[in-house]
Amino acid sequence: MGSAITKAILLILSADRELLNILGTTARVSLTSSLIALLIGVPIGILLGSSRFPGKGVITVINRTLMGMPPVVCGLLFYLLFSGVGPFRGLKLLFTVPIMIIAQVALITPIVIGNMETYVAGIAGPFRETCQGLGFGIGKRLRLMLNECAYSIFFVYLLAFARAIAEVGAVSMVGGAIAWKTNVMTTAIMQYTNMGSFTLGIALGIILMSISLIVNITISLMQRRFSQ
C-alpha cells in the first residue's frame, strides 16, 4: 500500500500521456453523464414528489427498482442494443464515449429522480398551502420550489457523480476499455488487476479517490454559497 501511494504520486508527477488520456476520458464521461442525468431527473423527481396523479405509485416503485439496477446489467443491455447485430447498429456507437455516457445516464437518472422525489414529497404539503395562501402562480411556484430544493440538488448531483465515476460494469461492457479511446480509471484498474499489477491498480484508485475528494469539496463550497 505504501508503495502504491508513492506510485500514485509519481504517476501524477510523471504526467504520463496515457494516464492523462484516461483521466480526460473519465472526466468527460462522468461529468457529462451526471449532468445530463441531473437535467432529466430533477424535473421528473419534483413532478413526482409534488403532484398527485393515478399511476404515480407504480412509477415510483418502478423507479426505485431501477435505482438498484446492477451497472453490468445496464451495460449488457446497451451492448446488445448497440452491437453490430443489435437494433441500433446503424448508429455505430458501440465502444465510443457517447454510448458510455448514454449507458451511465440510464443508470444514474433513476437515482436522481428517486432522491428528488423523496425530498420534495416531504415538503410538498406545507409548500402547497403556503403558495395557495400567498396566491402564487405556476411560475412563482416553480422558482420557489427550485430555491427550496437548491441544497438537495447539490447533494443529488454529488450522488450522481459518485455513481458515475465509480462504476465499472456499464462502461467496460459498452466502452470495451480500448486504449486511448474508451479506457477510464475504473476499467484501467480492472485491466491492471487482470495483468497482476495490483499496486498500479491501487495507485490509480488513490488518484480516483483524490479527484472525487476535490469534486466533493468544490460542490460542497458551492452548496454553501447557493443555499445561504
Residue 171 has a CB neighbour count (10 Å cut-off) of 32
User: Is 228 a binder of another protein (CB under 8 A)?
Assistant: no
CB of 135 to another protein, least distance (A): 38
Which 56-85 positions form the footprint of another protein (CB under 8 A)?
79-80, 83-85
CA 106 centroid distance within chain: 9
Q: Which is nearer to another protein, 140 or 181 (CB)?
A: 181
Q: Which is nearer to another protein, 110 or 201 (CB)?
A: 201
CA-based Rg of the chain, rounded to a whole angstrom?
20
CA neighbor of 128 nearest in space, from 148, 112, 114: 148
User: Is 221 a binder of another protein (CB under 8 A)?
Assistant: yes
CB of 188 to another protein, least distance (A): 9
Three-class DSSP labels, 12-45: HHHCCHHHHHHHHHHHHHHHHHHHHHHHHHHHHH
Which 83-142 positions form the footprint of another protein (CB under 8 A)?
83-87, 89, 92, 94-95
User: Is 3 a binder of another protein (CB under 8 A)?
Assistant: yes
Of the chain, the end-to-end C-alpha distance in Å amounts to 41
Beta strands in the chain (DSSP E): none
CA neighbor of 205 nearest in space, from 53, 26, 74: 26
Cα distance between residue 52 and residue 171, in whole Å: 36
CB of 173 to another protein, least distance (A): 11
Binding mask 5-44 for another protein (x = CB under 8 A): xxx--xx-xx-x-xx-------------------------
The grid coordinates listed for 123 are 415538503
CB of 105 to another protein, least distance (A): 22
Judged by CB under 8 A, the residue of 178, 218, 222, 226 near another protein is 178
User: Is 205 a binder of another protein (CB under 8 A)?
Assistant: no
Q: Which is nearer to another protein, 130 or 216 (CB)?
A: 216
Cβ contacts of 95 within 8 Å, gap of 6 or more: 174, 175, 176, 178, 181, 182
Judged by CB under 8 A, the residue of 60, 118, 191, 227 near another protein is 191
Give the three-state DSSP class for 167.
coil
Binding site for another protein (CB under 8 A): 1-7, 10-11, 13-14, 16, 18-19, 79-80, 83-87, 89, 92, 94-95, 176-179, 181, 191-200, 213, 217, 220-221, 224
